[in-house]
Structure 1
Amino acid sequence: MATEYGHGYGRRNGASDWGAEGNVGRRFRLPAGLRAPFEGRTWRELAYVLLSLPISVLMFTYAVTMLALGAGLLVTFLGIPVLAAGLAGCRGLGALERARARGLLGLEVADPEPLRVRKSGPMAWMGAVLKSGTSWRHLLYAVLHFPWAVFSFAIGASFWAYGWALLTYPVWFWLFPMYGGQDGLQLYGDETHQIYLDNPFEITVTALVGLLFTLATPWIVRALTLVDRLLVHGLLGPSRLATRVVELESDRGVVVDTAAADLRRIERDLHDGAQARLVALAMDLGLAKEKLAEDPRAAAQMVDEAHGEVKTALQELRDLARGIHPAVLTDRGLDAALSAVASRCTVPVQVDVDLASRPAPAIEGIAYFTVSELLQNISKHAQATSAAVDVWRSEDRLMLQVMDNGMGGAEAGANGSSGLAGLAERLDAVDGILVIDSPVGGPTRITAELPWRG
């Protein structure tokens, strides 16, 4: 099993110190609060808020018009195609919104499940559109997003415009006395009193207020777009049920591939191991039978050698059976089975199993083979002098943790070819999780989480 242990491997997934724009190792001299008004993210989010108003007006008008027209025409046959066309249009507008959120907010939302049209023809298509929950969620988004877009546009545009206008007032306040015949920006005025911002103190205070507005605007806009993110993700993405179906289909494929790989491994071990020895044993016994009459001593020696081959073949068959499902695991549970695995490890292993009852047999088997593979990794790659295995139950989850004091640097290969990557796929097939904590230089701590299903 090829697992990446050793130098040249940093933190898991290449994690490092990231700047605001995702540049590794970047260092900023200005704090986040001061540089936020000038960051690209702020301007993209502001553009999203400003564009939301005209787009939401279009979507709201289209959705309400088509819904009202279709509902009004339901007394005739025309109502159904009008409703179907309206929902289909909402799905198209939803695709536009997902693209806009992806480009301006950096929000990656998967496309919803496609229409399931079981028969050809316009009637089947209209029925699929009307029965699709995705279509109605897109219609709901078009209706709900309009009032929120009006609110966010008013707040975002006001803070942005007033902030920069007040901040730059010392630069352009000369406009009023020169071209408007006024002393400055008027705060209040009636028949008897007028208050202008025209002296240095008032101009300075105005600029400071504008600075506060300008510094606060990025965070206000960010809070506004948070609601947009929730709307897009919740109404325009795939439903939880559809996402779960996709996950189960993927997990089923992993399980099938794993089972096929295990069958190929068993066939290869039988063909290259016990089967080859049994064939050689049969040939040796045949030769011994022929020599029994003419050379009993040579025949006896050949039988003795065949007896040794039988013992070796039996040991290989026992090892193969243990690799499929060890009898000690079925009879005595994880504690005894993991202790047996730990005794075969090349470094001392402390095993601590704290379970009041046994999980489901399938989960118990996966836990056994997970610990077994991790201990093989330690024996082959970690250069450790000690290791420990902890097993416990946390609510409805079975927790496994394998630790060693080796050289560290373990990570699941990005191409999915390493042993840890394959192990993570097996755990994921049963809703399990594999977490790797292995800095270069060690120690390594690998935690696996499995459903209990007792």
Structure 2
Amino acid sequence: MDTGYAPQPRASRVPVGLRAPFSGRTWREFLHLILNLPMSVVMFAYAIVVMSLGAGLLITFLGIPVLAAGLSGSRALGALERGRARALLDLDVAAPEPIRPSKPGLMGWVGAVLKSGASWRHLLYGLLHFPWALFSFVFSVVFWTVGWALLAYPLWQWTFPAYLGQPGIQLWGDGTGNGVYVDGSTGMAFVSGFGLLLTLAGPWVIRGLTSVDRLMIHGLLGPSSLATRVSELESDRGVVVDTAAADLRRIERDLHDGAQARLVALAMDLGLAKEKLTEDPAAAAKMVDEAHGEVKVALQELRDLARGIHPAILTDRGLGPALSALAARCTVPVKVTVDLGHRPAAAIEGIAYFTVSELLQNISKHAQATSATVDVWHTADRIMVLVTDDGRGGANTATGSGLAGLSERLDSVDGLLVVDSPVGGPTAISAELPWRG
């Protein structure tokens, strides 16, 4: 029988500390440290050659394009490093911002490369990573191999008397053959125990060494925080534009299918009533009366449409009364609590209002709830909105849902939407918006 739940894997009875020396992650990270040395040698030598050749040729016209070409090559080596980190460290670092020449042609490209901070960071990575790669290579190889060798000491202890003429590993000697040796079952057990400790500690040592590589790759070979922020703002701008276009299409559709169509029919009815006014006053009066009812309906539709664009009560009285009026129209009893010292910026106030409006609509249509609450308060530099209900739960921000669009709209103003809605309920959806007074 399908219960809807994925089968849970059986928990291993072997402790993590004992499994770590044999895990794939440990050996992949160890391989990364081994490959660090040849890769860093190549990148360090390349960086030195690029800097020396570029600086030496600066007295000629060739220096600048040679330096730009060298920086471009550093970016290619950086892409190789990011791929190595992705394969061995499970570290997925995005590529830095691409080169965008301000003008066409070779000189435009050269200028863009030289102005690119990411290109210089790649070159800097080649210089700084070499000493660290040398240290991490030597330390990890010695630590890891010594640990395993001492752990397996009873298997190769026989080589000392057979080939070196001594009973075991020499701990101390005076050069005349006198010394302290590790032999016998007790000595071998001591060496193996020490090797076991080194072997068990090895994965954590390797993990600590690779953490430095992670920081360097992320900090020097990835996009800068400024470029990332610009990319986020460009994406948010696209969301805002798409949302605004969708709202305009909705308003146009509502006007065309609602009030506009009703007003056209009303004009035709009044025209017919005018023609019948002299021939059949009673029928004309009846048609005018029906047209009067149509006018009332059209006015109500226009009010609803205007409220959907920006309600007058929000502009005149603020968020508290506007949310109370919104809750009064909900099909579920809603308790509203608003604790704001003063009004935020009109744009933030509008987004908070329409966030609550959409959440209450979801409660009315889908939640099957018997009650709901809306809490709004101001903390530090954020305005917090919390909407809860006792319905069936199961709400999520999956792509294509209304909550996904709401999350994108909040993200466009540095806001955040958090959904806590287990199947069976209750549901608690919180929204954070920047406070802009």
**Does the alignment reach a TM-score above 0.5?**
yes
Query: Residue 207 in 1 paired to residue 192 in 2?
Result: yes
Aligned match of 2:256:
271
Deviations 1:276-334 (A, max 9, x none): 11111112212222222222222222211111111111111000000000001101111
1:261 and 1:361 mapped to 2: Cα distance?
Answer: 21
- Match for residue 80 of structure 1 among 34, 41, 64: 64
CA 1:323–1:68 in structure 2 vs 1: closer, same or farther (change >3 Å)? same
Q: Is the 8 A contact 1:9 1:410 kept in 2?
A: no
Aligned positions of 1:22-421 closer than 5 A: 25=9, 27-190=11-174, 191=176, 193-413=178-398, 416-421=399-404
What RMSD, in angstroms, separates the aligned Cα atoms of the two structures?
A: 1.8
Deviations 1:91-150 (A, max 9, x none): 111111111111111111111111122344433332222221111111111111111111
Shift of 1:192: 5.2
Partner-residue secondary structure (3-state), 1:129: helix
Shift of 1:212: 1.1
1:287 and 1:361 mapped to 2: Cα distance?
Answer: 47
Shift of 1:77: 2.9
Shift of 1:242: 1.3
Tell me the amino acid that sits aligned with residue 163 of structure 2: Y
CA 1:54–1:114 in structure 2 vs 1: closer, same or farther (change >3 Å)? same
Partner-residue secondary structure (3-state), 1:453: coil
1:444 and 1:171 mapped to 2: Cα distance?
Answer: 62
Which region of structure 1 is more displaced relative to structure 2, 380-389 or 290-299? 290-299
Which region of structure 1 is more displaced relative to structure 2, 244-253 or 318-327? 244-253
2:275 and 2:58 mapped to 1: Cα distance?
Answer: 95
Which region of structure 1 is more displaced relative to structure 2, 287-296 or 396-405? 287-296
Partner-residue secondary structure (3-state), 2:373: strand
Unaligned runs of 5+ in 1: 1-7, 11-15, 18-23
1:409 and 1:449 mapped to 2: Cα distance?
Answer: 21
2:237 and 2:111 mapped to 1: Cα distance?
Answer: 30
Unaligned runs of 5+ in 2: none
Shift of 1:223: 1.3
Partner-residue secondary structure (3-state), 2:58: helix
Q: TM-score, normalised by structure 2?
A: 0.95
Shift of 1:28: 2.0
2:36 and 2:373 mapped to 1: Cα distance?
Answer: 56
Q: Is the 8 A contact 1:101 1:107 kept in 2?
A: yes
Tell me the amino acid that sits aligned with residue 434 of structure 2: P
1:438 and 1:107 mapped to 2: Cα distance?
Answer: 31
Partner-residue secondary structure (3-state), 1:74: coil
Name the structure, 1 or 2, with higher relative contact order (CA <8 Å, separation 6+).
1
Q: TM-score, normalised by structure 1?
A: 0.92
User: Equivalent pairs: percent with the same residue?
Assistant: 71
